[in-house]
Structure 1
Amino acid sequence: MSDKTVIGLSRLIALQQQVDNLARNVANQNTTGFKREGIRFLEYLTDAKEADDIPSAPKRSLVAVTGYTDFSAGSLQLTGNSTDAAVLGDGFFVVRTSRGDRYTRNGAFTLDKQGRLVTLSGDLVLAANGTIKVPLTDVNLSIGTDGTISTARSIIGRLRVVKFDDPRSLVAEGTGLFASGSPPIELNAGSIRLATNALERSNVNSIREMSDLVAATRAYEQVANVVLKDGDPNELKTLAGEDL
């Protein structure tokens, strides 16, 4: 297999990962609390003269190294829903899933038939001292800017909000949930800042992501054409599958 084909395949793998990542961001542009994901690339020089024929990568090859999450804040959307809340600044709500406790910026909550505060997916929303259950006879539920949950009759509890020394260590699991291998830092009532009756929108810039997606798709097609033209079809299918 020629150096040009190897360089082209390396380029294709990187571009395919970029296309998949951008498409995922675009698909989640309207997902509450979604955080844009990106890919970092390691660029290295190659001495192969044939690399000059590879579009957008003269004498260079790109290899995807790692993904990352952009934790910058999204804009706020007022909903008027008393069970909705958005974290201002650093912090995550804590929810209990079938896989264990997870962390999210999605504060679209509701009450289930048992009066428990849950996510729209049915996961339990955690308080500082456990789960949150509102007596079915209570009315006028509200969430305070410090996370305090109360009704017309009593104070129910306070939302558990946490942060991490390095949010980059969090692992995205989809649907706005993150897992962590290290314990979080608990925020006390004086450190919690919430916007109530509101939600945090995704931080995806749809125009930029769509533009980048179109550019990455075109680059992929250009490189694929060169690789298909110059590479051995059987070798390419073995190395790259049926995508080419």
Structure 2
Amino acid sequence: MMENAQLIGLSQQMALRRRMDVIANNIANLQTSGFRGESVVFEEYQMAKAEMNAPSRADSIISYVVDRASYRDHSAGTMRQTGSPLDVAIGGQGFFTVETPDGPAYTRDGGFQIDANGQLVTAAGYPVMSEGGPITFAADESGITFSADGTVSSSAGEKGRLAIVTVDDVSLLKAQGDNVFAAGDAVAQPAEDPRLMQGVLEGSNVSGVTQMTDMVSVNRTYQSIAKIIERTDELRRSTLSTLSRNS
């Protein structure tokens, strides 16, 4: 029984460490434009005690906790005015398409830049894709604008229309890092009626207060379990010592 108690405690500590990692990552991205908060899904795993006879009572089942999976909250973040002509936000559903070393990916982060080659890129340096490919500006171009339908223009005229897509199931998107997602098993298709806003950025959808509260709760629970395991170990050693003296 004491070994079972320790194993159950250790399984919960492992799950809590995973949850703490997720919370820490959410907090680290509180100011990341378009970031989607992550949560962990746990599952109960039941196993009978190692006995000769099959368990006949409900309390003969040992219950462990298993880190089953994680999921992203894809609800929209708060929009804020920046005034920067290269900041763009999508109103409603949809993702910007970018090109990564692993292929096309999608992001809600519209904090764009122009790199040394004149290409429109993300903060991580990924080219932002139009329906015809990357968008490049000459050194003497000015007056860059993004219309509501995604058309990009400058003093040289229209440069293309941003490839804005929607996906059939956002839960199937796979996070790749750098605030972008691969399609995974999701099916991406061109957005029918995108609504872009220039000079605006979508903030992270993570609540700092909620995450800090969760962090404190996880830390306290972890410490409580550690004390229970320590006391169980002390009891086991005391029992073994008593048995050895009486043998």
Q: TM-score, normalised by structure 2?
A: 0.83
Contact 1:162 1:184 in 2 (8 A): no
Residue of structure 2 equivalent to 1:125: 128
Residue of structure 2 equivalent to 1:150: 153
Corresponding residue to 1:101 among 74, 99, 104:
104
Residue of structure 1 equivalent to 2:117: 114
What amino acid sits opposite 1:131 in the alignment?
P
Q: Deviations over 1:132-153 (max 9, x none)?
A: 1123222101111111100133
CA shift, 1:193, in A, is 1.2
CA shift, 1:60, in A, is 4.9
Alignment RMSD? 2.0
CA shift, 1:104, in A, is 0.7
Corresponding residue to 2:175 among 148, 151, 172:
172
Alpha-carbon distance in structure 2 between the residues aligned to 1:100 and 1:224: 45
What amino acid sits opposite 1:164 in the alignment?
V
Residue of structure 2 equivalent to 1:70: 73
Contact 2:6 2:229 in 1 (8 A): yes
Paired positions, count: 221
Residue of structure 1 equivalent to 2:220: 218
CA shift, 1:47, in A, is 7.8
Alpha-carbon distance in structure 2 between the residues aligned to 1:26 and 1:223: 24
Alpha-carbon distance in structure 1 between the residues aligned to 2:233 and 2:173: 40
CA shift, 1:183, in A, is 6.5
Structure 1: gaps of 5 or more residues: 49-58, 233-244
Alpha-carbon distance in structure 1 between the residues aligned to 2:131 and 2:14: 45
Alpha-carbon distance in structure 1 between the residues aligned to 2:165 and 2:187: 6
Corresponding residue to 1:160 among 126, 147, 163:
163
Corresponding position: 1:4 with 2:10 = no
Residue of structure 2 equivalent to 1:242: none
Corresponding position: 1:36 with 2:37 = yes
Alpha-carbon distance in structure 2 between the residues aligned to 1:22 and 1:121: 23
Corresponding position: 1:81 with 2:88 = no
Q: TM-score, normalised by structure 1?
A: 0.84
Contact 1:34 1:175 in 2 (8 A): no
CA shift, 1:38, in A, is 0.3
Give the secondary structure class of the aligned counterpart of 2:128.
Answer: strand
Sequence identity percentage: 36
Structure 2: gaps of 5 or more residues: 50-61, 235-247
Alpha-carbon distance in structure 2 between the residues aligned to 1:82 and 1:123: 18
Give the secondary structure class of the aligned counterpart of 2:76.
Answer: coil
Over 3 Å counting, the alpha-carbon distance change for 1:183 and 1:157 in structure 2 is farther
What amino acid sits opposite 2:204 in the alignment?
S
Give the secondary structure class of the aligned counterpart of 2:218.
Answer: helix
CA shift, 1:174, in A, is 2.2
CA shift, 1:194, in A, is 1.3
Alpha-carbon distance in structure 2 between the residues aligned to 1:231 and 1:126: 59
What amino acid sits opposite 2:197 in the alignment?
A
Residue of structure 1 equivalent to 2:189: 186
Residue of structure 1 equivalent to 2:197: 195
Contact 2:172 2:186 in 1 (8 A): no
Alpha-carbon distance in structure 1 between the residues aligned to 2:174 and 2:193: 24
Residue of structure 2 equivalent to 1:24: 25
Give the secondary structure class of the aligned counterpart of 1:213.
Answer: helix
Alpha-carbon distance in structure 1 between the residues aligned to 2:27 and 2:186: 31
Alpha-carbon distance in structure 2 between the residues aligned to 1:7 and 1:198: 49
